[in-house]
Amino acid sequence: MTLIETRPTEAPPDEEPPLYANRVKVYPKAVSGPFRKLKWAVLIVCLAVYYLAPWLRWDRGPGHPDQALLIDMEARRAYFFWIEIWPQEVYYLTGLLILGAIGLFLVTSLLGRVWCGYSCPQTVWTDLYMWIERLIEGDRNARIRLDKAPWTASKLARKTLKHALWLVIAALTGGAWVMYFNDAPTLARDVMNLNVSGGVLFFAALFTSTTYLLAGWAREQVCTYMCPWPRFQAAMFDRETLIVTYEAWRGEPRGKHRKGEAAKSLGDCVDCGQCYQVCPTGIDIRDGQQLECIGCALCIDACNVVMRKVGLPANLIAYDTVANQQARASGGVSRWRPVRPRTMIYAALLLVVGAAMLLALALRSTLDINVLRDRNPLFVTLSDGSIRNGYTIKILNKAREERSFVLTVDGIPSGEMQLAGHESAAESAKLTVKPDTVGTFRVFLRAPRASLQTESLPITFGLKETATGETARHSSVFVGPEH
C-alpha cells in the first residue's frame, strides 16, 4: 500500500520544486473592536513596565544600591524590592521560572494562546512596529501599492523614516535592558557623557539589533519557525479550551451575498476576506485551528464589523471551545467549563510551588556557614605526636550590618581550636564579619593522638551570633592516621 495516494490525472510538474520557500510578506490591515482595544491596553502596560521598572527606587541604606530591580553582576547580587539574592540562592529564580511555566500552562489550558496573542514580547514589539509602519506607509492596500511602486524620492523618504523610527525604538529597548543590570540614573548620565563600558555597549547593541530584526523583519516567522512554544502548546489544549474558532457549520458554503437575493443556498460567511487581511501572521482562520495562529482574536473584531453591516448574527469567528462549537452545530446549548481535571492540576501545582517559594523566602536565613576541610595534607603530625587538621570557615553574612560570632566545635573530646594568625588555642573562637560579605577564616583543630579512636571522626562546627543568638551549623570530619 502506498502511503501517499496520487491522482493519476495530475501530471508531474516539469521543473523541480524549490527547496527554499520565499516568505509571503504579510500586510495586516488596521482593525478596531474590543479585542484590538484590549491588545492596545496590554501593549501599553507591558511597554510601560519594561521601560520604567529600572527607574523605581528602593532605599536600602547607605552603601547599597537604591534600585528596586537590579541584577548586579559585578557584586554578584540580585535585588527585588525588599529581597536581596546571593548567587547560591539562584533557586529562587528557578522557582520563579517554574511558576511562570505552570502559570502559562494553566492560562493556555483555559484561554488558549493569550500569552502569544497579547503579552509575548515578540507580539508586543511587532505590534508597536506595525503601528509605526501604518502611520508612515498607510494601511494594507497603501503598503502593498508602495512596495510594488517604483523607487521614488517619496518612497525612499517613507522607508527611511520607518526604519529610522524602528531603530530608535530598538535602541531604547536595548538601552532599557542594560538598565536592569546597572544603576539606571548613573548609566543614563554615562550615556549622555559618551562614557559607557564595552560590556554595556555590547548588550545594548545586541538587544537593539534583535529587536530591530525580530520585530521589524522576522515578525510572524519567529512564531512559526523559531519559537518552540507553538509546537507543544497544543498539549495543553483540550475540547474545553477557549480558542479562536470559525463556525464552519453556519458559515459554509461561503460566498458573496447579493442584495435582495435570499441567501438560502449560502452560509453566513460573505467571503469578504477581512479575517485574513487583519491577521498578523497572514493565515485564514476558516481553515481551522493551526500552528501559526497566535490567538490574538483580531479576526473576531474584523468579522464582527462585517456581520453587523450585513445584519447577520455576530461571532461567526468567536472565542469559543471546540466542545461548544460541536454542541451548537447540532443545536445544543453552549457552556464553558473552566473547572476541569487539567486546569485543577495546573492550579494545584501553581499553588504548591508558589507556597513552597513563599515559605522558602519567609524562612530565608541571613546567616550561613560553609566548612572546607584541608585535603592536602589530610592531617599534620606535630612534634608532640598530636594530630592537627586545617579548615577554612566561610561565614556568609547576608545582613546589612557587621555581626560577630562565636565558633565552637562538637564531637572532638579533647580538641583545641586555633585561629590562624593567633598564638593561643582555645575551645572557641570569636569572629567578626563585615556587612553583606563572606568572611573567610582559617582554623586549626588539634587533638592528642591517644584521644583519636577512629581514622575519621565526625565533628560539627557551630556558629552563634553574639547579639541575637542566631545559629548555623556545618558538619565535617577530623582525620587522623590509620590505626
Binding residues for another protein, rule: CB under 8 A, are 1-7, 10, 12-13, 16-23, 218, 221, 225, 374-377, 380-385, 388, 390, 420-421, 442, 444
Among residues 218 and 293, whose Cβ is nearest to another protein?
Answer: 218
Smallest distance from the beta carbon of 6 to another protein, in angstroms? 5
Q: Which three cell numbers stand for residue 339?
A: 473547572
**Whole-angstrom Cα distance, residue 291 to residue 230?**
6
Among residues 100 and 377, whose Cβ is nearest to another protein?
Answer: 377
**Of 465, 475, 467, which is closest to residue 367 (Cα–Cα)?**
465
**Whole-angstrom Cα distance, residue 391 to residue 374?**
6
Q: Any bridge partners for residue 388, and if so which?
A: 380, 446
Smallest distance from the beta carbon of 420 to another protein, in angstroms? 7
User: 27 and 273 in contact (C-beta within 8 Å)?
Assistant: no
**Whole-angstrom Cα distance, residue 478 to residue 266?**
89
Among residues 2 and 453, whose Cβ is nearest to another protein?
Answer: 2
Smallest distance from the beta carbon of 446 to another protein, in angstroms? 10
**Which residues, in sequence order, are CB contacts of 393 under 8 Å at separation 6+?**
369, 370, 371, 407, 431, 440, 441, 442, 443, 461
**Of 260, 257, 242, 253, which is closest to residue 315 (Cα–Cα)?**
242
Among residues 91 and 217, whose Cβ is nearest to another protein?
Answer: 217
Smallest distance from the beta carbon of 374 to another protein, in angstroms? 7
The SS3 assignment for 319 reads strand
Smallest distance from the beta carbon of 17 to another protein, in angstroms? 5
AA letter at 72: D
Q: Which three cell numbers stand for residue 378?
A: 589530610
Q: Give the chain's length.
A: 483
**Whole-angstrom Cα distance, residue 442 to residue 391?**
6
Among residues 11 and 467, whose Cβ is nearest to another protein?
Answer: 11
Among residues 23 and 239, whose Cβ is nearest to another protein?
Answer: 23
**Whole-angstrom Cα distance, residue 282 to residue 165?**
24
Among residues 143 and 219, whose Cβ is nearest to another protein?
Answer: 219
**Whole-angstrom Cα distance, residue 254 to residue 251?**
6
Smallest distance from the beta carbon of 15 to another protein, in angstroms? 9
Rg (CA), the chain: 33
Among residues 259 and 375, whose Cβ is nearest to another protein?
Answer: 375
**Whole-angstrom Cα distance, residue 465 to residue 41?**
52
Smallest distance from the beta carbon of 147 to another protein, in angstroms? 17
Among residues 52 and 420, whose Cβ is nearest to another protein?
Answer: 420
Q: What is the enclosing helix (H) or strand (E) of 463?
A: strand 456-465
User: 117 and 296 in contact (C-beta within 8 Å)?
Assistant: yes
Smallest distance from the beta carbon of 216 to another protein, in angstroms? 13
Among residues 326 and 414, whose Cβ is nearest to another protein?
Answer: 414
Q: Which three cell numbers stand for residue 387?
A: 594530630
Smallest distance from the beta carbon of 218 to another protein, in angstroms? 7
Question: What is each CA distance from 307 to 172, 234, 275, 313, in whole angstroms?
Answer: 41, 30, 12, 6
Q: Which three cell numbers stand for residue 349?
A: 501545582
Smallest distance from the beta carbon of 461 to another protein, in angstroms? 18
Smallest distance from the beta carbon of 1 to another protein, in angstroms? 7
| Phi, psi angle pair for 262, to nearest 5° | -70, 125
**Whole-angstrom Cα distance, residue 395 to residue 434?**
10
Among residues 19 and 153, whose Cβ is nearest to another protein?
Answer: 19
